[in-house]
Structure 1
């Protein structure tokens, strides 16, 4: 299926007739890009596609609890009379029996007397087909099954809830049953149960019949109550997602305007006080060092000179003390030489040498001793120079480095404190954030209460069904005398069991492939390639579980808003791939609240490959000049949805308006 044209006439904000060519000329350019500001009509365009195809069965976000006629009347442009009405035309082509056929669905509605009248005309190859027009609600399932519509037409900001296993199981179940044809199995089981109950009613006694009818009516009422609670649950999920979006936007605005600094002000004040206390402590250490050997560092050259002079004087003192012993030793050496008949001239030369050496030493010894430092004082001086001064110097340098670091930290903290906004300046966003938080908490509480209520109701339904089965069994034992009727009911039970087993096996067989497709899609969209190692779908509940790189389950709360949105997109993408159907993808608000890197992955990897035809409805804050450049080589068409103040309605014109956006 490929959309070729959409025509909106007086629909919502679109005043007058607006025809848009959606045909894709080449497979390399599957993307058709619409740009428009919020409130311009992008969501109306998306809902018009759904309404045009499915009519009263369309699940659009704006209908909510309105009845169908009131919803149609609300879509008639406010500047025209409801009697003039509105219309939606959707043209598409479909390949059938190796030949291409052109279809055009025209849905028109207007107020006729006191009610809204709707007509549907379907043209095939430009010829009106009355039979197809009359049965279009059933025939549309052949082109795009209604239960698969949400896989292909969706709001990028509304799909994040799919990342929560408790909320994804329903759409996964619906999609998987439709993809695998298991709805036929469920319908067969239902038909068999109806047949069985009819046979029981025909053959059982009046008492059992009344009891079965009574239990059946209770079950029907409980089923209606369950359906109502489930619808309320769906509405709460949407509201909670909207509340989460509003809370995220308020938090982002709060952060952007410096609210995080306001939150950190007490911590910043504490850091400032800690820095000042640490500075005082280091300065006390510096003063303590000043009362120790620190001042002597200034006199290190003089201390070195003093030590040198003291060492010289110490050598002089040592010589004086040893002089008598040296003279005695010299005399003994001369005497020994004379005694051993050494030549006199050699002894004379030795005596001359010793005399000259003694005179030289005498001259040195006779130099004036200026300091006369005691040995103990000299030892202390050497210890001071070799140990104490180095220790003090190292300590002082460490203190100076610490003070410099604290100065930098204090300057940074004070700079942050200067940037802290006044609380009054953020009062509007604080109020908005608090309202959003309270709304989200209330909705979460309502969801929890509704879940508890639904669980209790399920228990009641299970108990009633058990009673019904027991009554059926008693009726069968007491009232079934016709063996043929007995065999019909017994066979119905056996077939039901067989169908349940068949359905379970089919699911297990195909779930592994679907898990692989979703995992592949998710990894191609993620910035953190190692974040996810596997994706699992429970064959019983159809709940989806994401496993991290360590093989453990990743709770949805651990994923960022962008990662949850990408997971939801990957689920839809994977289901779309698994469907094997060539269907267009339409995405409103495609980039949502994603950060830059996630947006790049979506623009480069998802949009050009999501389908053979991809229609994007973007705001000015999403696909700007940067992302437009990334996707331009895949564009098959581009349009602007612009609200014309003078005209009083929106218009659609060629060209993308945000191509030059900053």
Structure 2
């Protein structure tokens, strides 16, 4: 089945007639991308296809909280009279009985005052088919059963619902029942139960009839209460979905306006304060260094020269003292030698040697005294400490540069943050939406608990009613035909229950394998999940981790749970075994970058032979669009004009 064209006439935000060709140009480009900002009409496109195909039996959306007539009335564009009405046309082709047939459906409606008049026309291969028009609700089930439509036409809210393992059980149960045809078995079982009760009630003696009737009234009352509670749960669930959607939209608006940065303002201010404190401490240490030996680093060479000069002066002073002592010693030595009658030549030679030695020492003692220092101890000590002072000062200066740079960056981030006052209204709306969501979740929990309690009470009442019927029937089972009928009905009900259990077990293994295969293609962590099983009774999804032990869904990240939900839909859709198009509204939800890439690369191009994506410019942005571009066959954008309060369909995505 391939959707070829959707025509909207005065539907939702679409004023007048708008045509959207949908046929992919080739099998290599199956993606049809329709972009639009929030409120431009993306969800209307998805709902229009549902309404065109199923009419009053279409799956209720988050915006449909009342009757079908009220819903159709709300879909009429506000800029035209309700008496003019609206219309949806859907063209598609599908293979039936080995032949390709082209279907054209037109569903139009207008107000006649208190009521809505709806007209359906169906054409096959260009010819109006009266019989098919009158039986369309049954015929559409042959190529797109309503029970499995949710596996192919869905939005981000359904993905989030499936990502919640508790909420997913009901969705899985309904999908499996429709997929395996168990809804027919359930209807047959219910019809047999009604038939059994009717025949048994006819056999009740008068003395027990009052008891049976009382139990029957109790069952009827509880069943009505249960249905009302189920309606209440559905209503509250719609309200919760609406609240979640509003919260998501407000959170996105808050984020786009810089709210995420603003939420980090306290952290940014703390960072700036810490960096300023650190910078002041470093500068204090620099001042401390400068107040000690550090300034002398500029005179290192002078200090080195001074040290050498002081050493020379000290040496000269020592030589001068030595010369005086040696001169007296030499005179004494010569006098002693003379008195000892030493040879004159020898005496003269010794005198010349001693004189030369004194002259040499006197030469060293003649160094000029300019430093005024007695020794070089002070200068030598300075020269020893200056290298470590240099290292400390250089380290402090480098730390100051780095800290100053970090402080400048932190201050730029702080300055770039939006003014908190400008976001106060939006933050208040977001917080109110969050509170409303919490209240809706609480209401849903209470409503679900009441529904569960009523189901338990109704089950007990059913059991009591059955017991009363059994007692009454056994008291007077005179009608053999009735007894045989009841016995046959009981056997058939047991057989049907066995059939349902066997069919479920038989198909669940294959469905689990398909889901695991889809998970393997979507999850970025190889072999994070090694097995998937679905409980046949509770429809709980059971995961097995790499270590062979059960893996709770809560252990997965939010993004991984959403990918698990997509894998569930993908696996169930493949299990359906029918080549049907896939339509996804707001497909990327709150996934992070890497999980988005996995959907863009591994799911959207291969989900089906035709994939229609309805997205905002923040979900499929430039980067995502570039990744998806090789697989895009058609692209449109929905442009909403606030002046005319209407949407127009333009060719090309946001940046084309």
Structure 1 and Structure 2 fold alike (TM over 0.5): yes
Match for residue 55 of structure 2? 55
Please tell me whether the aligned partners of residues 37 and 616 of structure 2 are also in contact (alpha carbons under 8 angstroms).
yes
Residues of 2 paired with 1:427 and 1:635: CA distance? 40
Residues of 2 paired with 1:362 and 1:487: CA distance? 152
Please tell me whether the aligned partners of residues 546 and 554 of structure 1 are also in contact (alpha carbons under 8 angstroms).
yes
Match for residue 515 of structure 1? 512
Match for residue 222 of structure 1? 222
Please tell me whether the aligned partners of residues 161 and 237 of structure 1 are also in contact (alpha carbons under 8 angstroms).
no
Gaps of 5+ in 2: 330-348
> Measured at CA, do residues 284 and 154 of structure 1 come closer, stay the same or move farther in structure 2, by a change above 3 Å?
closer
> Measured at CA, do residues 611 and 364 of structure 1 come closer, stay the same or move farther in structure 2, by a change above 3 Å?
same
Residues of 2 paired with 1:297 and 1:493: CA distance? 106
Match for residue 533 of structure 1? 529
Match for residue 340 of structure 2? none
Query: Residue 651 of structure 2: SS of its match in structure 1?
Result: coil
How much does 1:559 deviate?
1.5
How much does 1:61 deviate?
2.3
Query: Residue 555 of structure 1: SS of its match in structure 2?
Result: helix
> Measured at CA, do residues 396 and 455 of structure 1 come closer, stay the same or move farther in structure 2, by a change above 3 Å?
farther
Q: Does 1:233 align with 2:233?
A: yes
Residues of 1 paired with 2:358 and 2:496: CA distance? 123
How much does 1:55 deviate?
1.7
Residues of 2 paired with 1:291 and 1:646: CA distance? 72
Match for residue 2 of structure 2? 2
Q: Does 1:461 align with 2:496?
A: no
Match for residue 577 of structure 2? 580
Please tell me whether the aligned partners of residues 163 and 556 of structure 1 are also in contact (alpha carbons under 8 angstroms).
no
> Measured at CA, do residues 423 and 383 of structure 1 come closer, stay the same or move farther in structure 2, by a change above 3 Å?
same
Residues of 1 paired with 2:379 and 2:219: CA distance? 104
Match for residue 135 of structure 2? 135
Match for residue 553 of structure 1? 552
How much does 1:437 deviate?
2.3
Match for residue 345 of structure 2? none
How much does 1:581 deviate?
0.8
Q: Does 1:411 align with 2:417?
A: no
- State the Cα deviation string for residues 598-641 of structure 1 (Å, max 9, x = none): 55554444333222233344556566776666555545555565
Match for residue 64 of structure 2? 64
How much does 1:151 deviate?
1.8
> Measured at CA, do residues 549 and 227 of structure 1 come closer, stay the same or move farther in structure 2, by a change above 3 Å?
farther
The counterpart of 1:656, out of the listed 636, 648, 651, is: 651
Match for residue 343 of structure 1? none
Normalised to the residue count of structure 2, the TM-score between the two structures is 0.77
Please tell me whether the aligned partners of residues 105 and 123 of structure 2 are also in contact (alpha carbons under 8 angstroms).
yes
> Measured at CA, do residues 464 and 626 of structure 1 come closer, stay the same or move farther in structure 2, by a change above 3 Å?
same
- State the Cα deviation string for residues 272-325 of structure 1 (Å, max 9, x = none): 4434444454455455556766566566556656776888879998998xx99x
Q: Does 1:450 align with 2:447?
A: yes
- State the Cα deviation string for residues 228-287 of structure 1 (Å, max 9, x = none): 434443444444344334334434443444444544444444444434444454455455
RMSD between aligned alpha carbons? 4.9
Query: Residue 51 of structure 1: SS of its match in structure 2?
Result: helix
Q: Does 1:439 align with 2:436?
A: yes
Match for residue 344 of structure 1? none
Residues of 2 paired with 1:530 and 1:357: CA distance? 98
Match for residue 211 of structure 2? 211
Matching of residues 254-653 of structure 1 within 5 Å? 254-286=254-286, 301=301, 363=360, 367-368=364-365, 388-468=385-465, 470-471=467-468, 474-475=471-472, 478=475, 480=477, 496=493, 499-500=496-497, 502-522=499-519, 524-525=521-522, 528-530=524-526, 532-533=528-529, 536-539=532-535, 540-544=537-541, 552-555=551-554, 558-560=557-559, 566-591=563-588, 601-619=598-616, 631=628, 634-637=631-634
> Measured at CA, do residues 408 and 524 of structure 1 come closer, stay the same or move farther in structure 2, by a change above 3 Å?
same
Please tell me whether the aligned partners of residues 532 and 546 of structure 1 are also in contact (alpha carbons under 8 angstroms).
no
How much does 1:112 deviate?
5.4
Residues of 2 paired with 1:39 and 1:296: CA distance? 73
Please tell me whether the aligned partners of residues 531 and 545 of structure 2 are also in contact (alpha carbons under 8 angstroms).
no
> Measured at CA, do residues 109 and 558 of structure 1 come closer, stay the same or move farther in structure 2, by a change above 3 Å?
same
How much does 1:461 deviate?
3.3
Please tell me whether the aligned partners of residues 635 and 653 of structure 2 are also in contact (alpha carbons under 8 angstroms).
no
Residues of 2 paired with 1:585 and 1:517: CA distance? 17
- State the Cα deviation string for residues 453-509 of structure 1 (Å, max 9, x = none): 334334433443443455455456655577886676567556655654554454344
> Measured at CA, do residues 548 and 403 of structure 1 come closer, stay the same or move farther in structure 2, by a change above 3 Å?
farther
Residues of 2 paired with 1:244 and 1:110: CA distance? 32
Residues of 1 paired with 2:467 and 2:358: CA distance? 131
Match for residue 336 of structure 2? none
How much does 1:54 deviate?
1.4
Residues of 2 paired with 1:103 and 1:272: CA distance? 66
> Measured at CA, do residues 258 and 589 of structure 1 come closer, stay the same or move farther in structure 2, by a change above 3 Å?
closer
How much does 1:15 deviate?
5.2
Please tell me whether the aligned partners of residues 275 and 407 of structure 2 are also in contact (alpha carbons under 8 angstroms).
yes
> Measured at CA, do residues 445 and 45 of structure 1 come closer, stay the same or move farther in structure 2, by a change above 3 Å?
same
Gaps of 5+ in 1: 328-351
Residues of 2 paired with 1:186 and 1:507: CA distance? 13
Query: Residue 610 of structure 1: SS of its match in structure 2?
Result: coil
Match for residue 180 of structure 1? 180
> Measured at CA, do residues 277 and 226 of structure 1 come closer, stay the same or move farther in structure 2, by a change above 3 Å?
same
Match for residue 337 of structure 1? none
Residues of 2 paired with 1:114 and 1:283: CA distance? 82
> Measured at CA, do residues 209 and 245 of structure 1 come closer, stay the same or move farther in structure 2, by a change above 3 Å?
same
Normalised to the residue count of structure 1, the TM-score between the two structures is 0.76
How much does 1:579 deviate?
0.8
Match for residue 332 of structure 2? none
Match for residue 101 of structure 1? 101
Please tell me whether the aligned partners of residues 105 and 121 of structure 1 are also in contact (alpha carbons under 8 angstroms).
yes
Please tell me whether the aligned partners of residues 94 and 100 of structure 2 are also in contact (alpha carbons under 8 angstroms).
yes
